[in-house]
């Protein structure tokens, strides 16, 4: 069986203590377009790009508190 036409495996998200809960996020179309462009250029999934943006904002918020 040939692997030439198999899709590339994407990186898996790191394990999070306590597991994950699904969440639906409604965003403006322009933001989704930008996320899709980032996903395409980086080879990541849309949800991975959204997660990165979320955690960047969370880290910045925590730094401001300190």
Query: For 16-66, how does the pLDDT look when each residue is reduced to its tens digit (9 = 90+)?
Result: 777 778 888 899 999 999 999 999 999 999 999 999 999 999 888 888 877
Q: Classify residue 57: in a domain, yes or no.
A: yes
Residue 62 is predicted with a pLDDT of 84
Number of domains in the chain: 1
User: Is 14 inside any structural domain?
Assistant: no
44 assigned to some structural domain: yes
Which one, of 49, 37, 54, 53, lies nearest residue 10 by Cα? 49
The answer to whether residue 53 is domain-embedded is yes
In a domain, 43, yes or no: yes
Q: Answer whether residue 42 is part of any domain.
A: yes
Let me know if residue 39 belongs to a domain.
Answer: yes
The secondary structure element, H or E, covering residue 33 is helix 29-42
pLDDT band for position 9 (50/70/90)? low
pLDDT of residue 65: 76
Host domain of residue 36: 29-65
Q: Which of 26, 48, 24 is nearest to 36 (CA)?
A: 48
Alpha-carbon span 31 to 29, nearest angstrom? 5
pTM: 0.63
Confirm if 48 and 39 have CB atoms less than 8 A apart. Answer: yes
């Amino acid at each position: 069986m040939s692997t030439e036409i198999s899709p590339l495996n994407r990186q898996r998200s790191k394990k999070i203590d306590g597991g994950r809960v699904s969440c639906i996020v409604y965003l403006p179309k322009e933001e989704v377009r930008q996320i899709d462009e980032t996903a395409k250029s980086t080879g990541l999934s849309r949800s991975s790009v959204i997660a990165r943006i979320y955690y960047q904002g969370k880290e910045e918020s925590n730094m401001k508190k300190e």
